[in-house]
Amino acid sequence: MATPARDNGPMDAVDGRPEPGPEPDPHDDFPIGFFTRVDESPDEVFYEPDRFVTHIDDRAVQTVGRLYRQLGIDGEGSAGAVLDLMSSWVSHFLTPPSELVVLGMNERELRANRQARAYVVQDLNADPRLPFPDDRFGAATCCVSIDYLVRPIDVLREVARVVRPGGLVVCTFSNRCFPTKVIRGWLAITEEQRCHTVGRYFRLAGGYDEPMAALCTPAGTPGDPLYAVWAAVSGGAGEGSGEGSDGVGAPDTAG
Ligand SMILES: C[S@@+](CC[C@H](N)C(=O)[O-])C[C@H]1O[C@@H](n2cnc3c(N)ncnc32)[C@H](O)[C@@H]1O
């Protein structure tokens, strides 16, 4: 007598084991609505007008440059080619890397970036795949922008692919944003929780050593705070991510 097939999902014809389903989406680990935004219109609409401004104050800008110097990813270090994601007309390096490629939404801003050798206009929320070969860069940066990504883990996976093993990926952020374009989850959490959230993005993306986080401006002082979360792409020769902690520490970048 034939046995009725149980509804165990798709079956492998050979050994009867269930076929693997689709990969779980790590973004689903976050609360429902975390990655939604008030303004869900295409990003190209919002970023079409030029914004030749700095999005953080002078102290925070200088802190970004000092952090890049300290981590060895600017032109004084050995990273070589660097990719600045979600870039604009400024990339904040004290000394530009030997080759800086900038990727962002506004072509006129990117063309005006005097530290960049090349630019790419790409909406990472529409397509997180990066148009570069594996191991193309020695490091990558993303300054005051990770909060605009609706699929940040996919983007960080791609960044781990295009940055060579041991290369650092450095995300910096403050407490200012375009509120209609930032993901709702970012607005719902504290500044310290944002550090943990970005660290979690790195872990869920995979391909990175343990991320480090720091408050780089002196705590409790006036002005824009500057937080950084960074990680080395796994498989490097053990250079590591430098000194830091998973909590919020204070590296020697304040000044
Ligand atoms: C607050 S600005 C920061 C610009 C620059 N990183 C800086 O430090 O001044 C946010 C930047 O993210 C870029 N951006 C926003 N959404 C993006 C997207 N979906 N894909 C790629 N870049 C995006 C914009 O072009 C804009 O320049």
For residues 195-224, average pLDDT:
97
Q: Which ligand 1 atom is nearest residue 105's CA?
A: 25
Pocket test for ligand 1, best of 58, 61, 88 (most atoms within 8 A of CB): 88
Judge contact between 178 and 187, C-beta under 8 A: no
Share of the chain above pLDDT 90, in %: 79
Cα gap 232→165, rounded to integer Å: 7
pLDDT of residue 209: 98
SS3 content of the chain, % helix, strand, coil (to 5): 25, 20, 60
Share of the chain above pLDDT 70, in %: 87
Torsion sign across C-alpha atoms 208, 116, 72, 86 = negative
Q: Is it the case that residue 60 has pLDDT exceeding 80? A: yes
pLDDT of residue 14: 57
Calculate how far, in angstroms, residue 124's C-alpha sits from the geometric centre of ligand 1. Answer: 10
pLDDT of residue 199: 98
Q: Which residues line ligand 1 (CB under 6 A)?
A: 43, 47, 55, 86-88, 90, 104-106, 122-125, 143-145, 148
pLDDT of residue 20: 80
Confidence of residue 172 (pLDDT cuts 50, 70, 90): very high
pLDDT of residue 238: 59
Which residues are 104's β-sheet partners? Answer: 121
Q: Which ligand 1 atom is nearest residue 172's CA?
A: 8
Pairing relationship of beta strands 118-121 and 227-232 according to DSSP bridges: unpaired
pTM score: 0.88
Per the model's pLDDT, the better-predicted residue between 40 and 242 turns out to be 40
Confidence of residue 38 (pLDDT cuts 50, 70, 90): very high
Calculate how far, in angstroms, residue 152's C-alpha sits from the geometric centre of ligand 1. Answer: 13
pLDDT of residue 136: 98
pLDDT of residue 190: 95
Burial (CB count within 10 angstroms: exposed 0-12, middle 13-18, buried 19+), residue 54: middle
For residues 174-193, average pLDDT:
94
Q: Is it the case that residue 104 has pLDDT exceeding 80? A: yes
Confidence of residue 105 (pLDDT cuts 50, 70, 90): very high
Pick the CATH number of 44-232 from 3.60.21.70, 3.30.565.10, 1.10.10.10, 3.40.50.150: 3.40.50.150
Q: Is it the case that residue 242 has pLDDT exceeding 50? A: no
Closest CA to 106 of 187, 155, 43: 43
Pocket test for ligand 1, best of 56, 89, 105, 154 (most atoms within 8 A of CB): 105
Number of continuous H segments (helices) and E segments (strands) in the chain: 6, 7
Closest CA to 161 of 208, 107, 105, 114: 208
Q: Is it the case that residue 130 has pLDDT exceeding 70? A: yes
Average pLDDT score over the chain? 89
Which two three-digit tokens encode residue 143?
């300054």
Confidence of residue 244 (pLDDT cuts 50, 70, 90): very low
